[in-house]
Amino acid sequence: MSWIEVVDANGRVVARRAAEGVPCTVGSALDNTLLIEGPDVAPYHARIDREADGRLTVTVLGQSSGLQRPGAPELAMFLALTPSAPVAVGGSVIRLVDEATRDVSVVASGPEPRWREFVSRRPVQWGAAALLAISGAAIGYFTMPGSERAVNALAVAVALVLAECAWVGLWAITGRIRHGRARFGEHFVVATAIAIVGWAVAELESWQQFLLPGAGAAATVLLAVTAVVWALAILLHLRVMNQAHWQKHVRIAAGFGVALFVMVLAVRDYQGPWSSDIEFSAVLKPFARVWASSPDQFGESLTKLRGQLDKDDEEPAATVAEDTAGS
């Protein structure tokens, strides 16, 4: 059995298809049979056909930059594909082999995962938009103290949907440029799911601040959870754009999550430039049965605050003045 393989610039087989499965297409768009990434690869770069005599041929499609024999400078619009004559597309090579290479990982190019199939359904996409809008309206209507409840509901719903459209739009534009398809709807479903999970984590954080004010370890754990949610969001959006390069996507998402966690941890206690303002940060819940100290205990607990203040800017104005006042 013969196979058509795509080998990237590092010599790794990144896509494979049985030679019997032609015709097939090659390019950077997700719906190609063989996915090839690279700056010189067009979304729909070429098509592989079987001629009447049984030979395989590669033919340039549309706006692509052409085909080459590996190492040869000449560009061609049409080349034969044989075991001894591979075809170069961008930095990758399409080759015909008699036996599949077993010792390298190969990106699966089978049917779409179930979650991707799910998010690509139109009813699901409209459902996500409706869920987001209804959630925003509920927040505006049931929690805001303003007298115009309908206006509050509308304002929050519109703000939420617009904010998510902006976020999703960035992914869609990136996908359109890199892979030829925006997949706005799929990204929207993913973003809505992540928004719900993110809201749940934020709610956990606010309960932590309410029930355990000043508990640094609990806050750090929740910060880590937040970083994981963001990493998950990045990973899912990358997977929506492109099914290939699973490990690469995991590395990008994990790197983002770790960077976010470290960065927020580093600046969490940074207070910014000196200011004479007080920014209160009360988190209130409709719940009175919490652990609480007595007024005297609370007063005593302020000693720690005094310790912090006494350490702040430990160059007091005392250093200015051993002079006699007025001399």
Partner 1 sequence: MNLRAYVVATGALLVLGPRVAHSQGIVTAAPPAGDVAQAFKRLAPAVVRIEVRETGAVALSSVGSGFFAAPSGRIITNYHVISRLVNEPGRHRGRATWGSDTVDIQVLAVDVVHDLAVLDAPDAHGAAMLTPVTVNLLKGDRLLAMGHPRDLGLSIVEGTYNGQVEHVLTPRLHFTGPLNPGMSGGPAVTPAGALVGVNVATMGEELAFLVPAEFVTRLLSRLPATLPTADALRRDMATQLGQMGVDALDALFIPGAPTVQLGPYRAPTEPSAAFQCWGDAREPKDAAYRLVVHRCGTDESVFLSEDLNAGLVYFSHQLLDGASLSRIRLLTASEQAFNDKLTFDGTARETTRFRCTTGNVRTATMTFRAEVCARRLKSLYGLYEAVMRATPLGATAQSLVTTLTMSGVRFDLIQRTVARYLASITLSPETQE
Q: Does 217 bind partner 1 (CB under 8 A)?
A: no
- 176 burial class (0-12, 13-18, 19+ CB within 10 angstroms)? middle
Task: State residue 68 phi and psi, 5-degree precision.
Answer: -140, 160
User: Which residue among 71, 214, 247, 270 contacts partner 1 (CB under 8 A)?
Assistant: 214
Start-to-end Cα distance in the chain = 101
Q: Does 308 bind partner 1 (CB under 8 A)?
A: yes
Task: Give the number of other CB atoms < 10 A from CB of residue 316.
Answer: 8
Nearer to partner 1, 52 or 278 (CB): 278
Q: Which stretch binds partner 1 (CB under 8 A): 47-55, 63-71, 228-236, 280-288?
A: 280-288
Q: Are strands 56-60 and 34-35 parallel, antiparallel or unpaired?
A: unpaired
**Cross-strand bridge partners of residue 47:** 25, 59
Q: Which stretch binds partner 1 (CB under 8 A): 38-46, 60-68, 121-129, 209-217?
A: 209-217
Mask for 154-183, x = binds partner 1 (CB under 8 A) = ------------------------------
Q: Mapping DSSP to helix (H, G, I), strand (E, B) and coil, where does residue 209 land?
A: helix
CB of 295 to partner 1, least distance (A): 4
CB of 201 to partner 1, least distance (A): 20
Q: Which stretch binds partner 1 (CB under 8 A): 9-17, 34-42, 67-75, 274-282?
A: 274-282
User: Which residue among 1, 52, 166, 321 contacts partner 1 (CB under 8 A)?
Assistant: 321
Q: Does 285 bind partner 1 (CB under 8 A)?
A: yes
Nearer to partner 1, 108 or 290 (CB): 290
* 184-211 and 149-179 helices, crossing angle to 10°: 130
Per-residue b/e over 126-162, b at no fewer than 16 CB within 10 Å?
eebbeebbebbbebbbeeeeeeeeeebbbbbbeebbe
Q: Does 216 bind partner 1 (CB under 8 A)?
A: no
Q: Which stretch binds partner 1 (CB under 8 A): 28-36, 158-166, 168-176, 206-214?
A: 206-214
Q: Does 313 bind partner 1 (CB under 8 A)?
A: yes
Nearer to partner 1, 24 or 154 (CB): 154
Dist CA 48 CA 50 (whole Å): 7
The three-state DSSP-derived secondary structure of 62-85 is CCCCCEECCCCCCCECEEEEECCE
CB of 207 to partner 1, least distance (A): 13
Residues in contact with partner 1, total (CB under 8 A)?
61
Using only the alpha carbons of the chain, give its radius of gyration: 29
Q: Residue 116 in contact with residue 239, Cβ under 8 Å?
A: yes
Q: Does 281 bind partner 1 (CB under 8 A)?
A: yes
Nearer to partner 1, 103 or 287 (CB): 287
Cis peptide, bond prior to residue 23, ω within 30 of zero? yes
Of residues 109-148, those binding partner 1 (CB under 8 A) = 142-148
Task: State residue 54 phi and psi, 5-degree precision.
Answer: 95, -5
Q: Mapping DSSP to helix (H, G, I), strand (E, B) and coil, where does residue 120 land?
A: coil
Nearer to partner 1, 51 or 312 (CB): 312
Dist CA 11 CA 7 (whole Å): 6
Mask for 75-114, x = binds partner 1 (CB under 8 A) = ----------------------------------------
CB of 244 to partner 1, least distance (A): 47
Q: Does 270 bind partner 1 (CB under 8 A)?
A: no
Residues interacting with partner 1, by CB under 8 A? Answer: 142-149, 209-210, 213-214, 271, 274-296, 298-306, 308-310, 312-313, 316-318, 320-327
